[in-house]
Amino acid sequence: MGKPKGNNRQRQARESEWRSQKKDKPFFFFVHFAEVDHSGHKHGENSKEYNDALISNDTWTGKIIAKLRELGLYDKTLVYVTSDHGFDEDKGSHKYAPYVFLGTNDPMVKRAGMRQDVAPTILARFGIDLSKFKPPLDGEPLAQPATKPVLKAPEKKGGKGKDPAKRKLPAGGQKKAA
């Protein structure tokens, strides 16, 4: 689709038209909403602006899912909602933020994982042989048992932030921790 132009509303209108045109052919559709990242860096993880950006992205993700349903594509579409990184608690930085959110409707995703497991999960679902990657990928598909240690996020003690596992996925998504 090319480089994203405009705000979420303009982007969603173009994407909706594109999906309608491609609905009869297999396609890969990647959407990057940058507002959460920008708000997190500028205002901090637990700021009103950051929360508003999360709500906005949730709304737009819900609209994409609604359009997939309207076109009769949702039941044959794998949806992955993720982030590139988290943030340090109450800060606009991510010096130590190895955990990301992954929400999906993919019934093959069976376990929690870490950031490096997201790409192998999606690539494996495309039928790509991960053993051909040189150097090998660090992560492992979340549809398979882990062969490497999966680190868990430390428990928050008195933190101000919401537990990311309690954030709701839009319009029929299924929560999976990554």
Question: Per residue in 7-43, pLDDT tens?
Answer: 666 766 777 777 677 777 777 888 888 888 889 889 9
| Crossing angle of helices 48-70 and 8-22, rounded to 10° | 20
- 168 pLDDT band, cuts 50/70/90, is very low
Nearest alpha-carbon partner for 54 in 36, 29, 80, 27: 36
CA-CA distances (angstroms) from residue 91 to 60, 113, 114? Answer: 25, 24, 21
Question: Per residue in 30-81, pLDDT tens?
Answer: 888 888 888 988 998 889 999 999 999 999 999 999 989 998 999 989 999 9
Question: Per residue in 105-146, pLDDT tens?
Answer: 999 999 888 888 999 999 999 999 999 999 999 999 999 999
Q: What is the pLDDT of residue 82?
A: 87
Looking at the predicted structure, is the pLDDT value of residue 1 above 50? no
pTM higher than 0.75: no
Q: What is the pLDDT of residue 74?
A: 92
Q: What is the pLDDT of residue 20?
A: 73
Between CA 141 and CA 122 the distance in angstroms is: 8
Query: Where exactly are the structural domains of the chain?
Result: 8-177
